[in-house]
Amino acid sequence: MREYTKLVVYVRQELEAGREYDDYRPRLDTIRQVASTLPEARMTVVAASDNADCQREVARLTRIVEHLNGWTVSLVEDGPSARRKLAVSQIPTFIVESVETGRELGRIVRGPTSGSLETDLLTIAEEHPSRVIV
């Protein structure tokens, strides 16, 4: 079972955001750039089912990660413990970490600052490109 499958179930059943998920058309050209710049990453999604921003942004993010084969995603339900542990002040929060070091590479809070999640992810990827030597 692919990593994003759990996220799809969460979006459809918990967030009840299936329509947002179905209707969202990700920017595939930008996603390809993300994948080539940062082929592997871990992402932690902190969200709550009763939050409108989570319903919209997590549904969109789910469509995006379908195309990021080297990325793994874990979902954390919002709450005081999660906020404290992950230093989260607003939701949704998407935390991108290095697979190799576990170091945080960047985060997206509440929604994209550039106009799209894809572009924000590309900015994070470009600031921390993979150091793979061929």
Give the residue carrying structure tokens 């059943």: 13
Q: What is the number of other CB atoms lying within 10 angstroms of the CB of residue 126? A: 12
Fold of 3-127: Glutaredoxin (3.40.30)
Q: Are 104 and 13 in contact (CB under 8 A)?
A: no
Asked if pLDDT for residue 1 goes beyond 50, the answer is no
Token digits for 24? 């969202």
Tens digit of pLDDT for each residue in 55-99? 999 999 999 999 999 999 999 999 999 999 999 999 999 999 999
- Residues in a beta bridge with 96: 43, 106
pLDDT tens per residue, range 12-44 = 898 888 899 999 999 999 999 999 999 999 999
In 10 A of CB 53, how many CB atoms? Answer: 15
Domain-wise residue ranges, the chain: 3-127
CA distance 3 to 103: 20
Which structure tokens are listed for 63?
């469509």
pTM of the model: 0.92
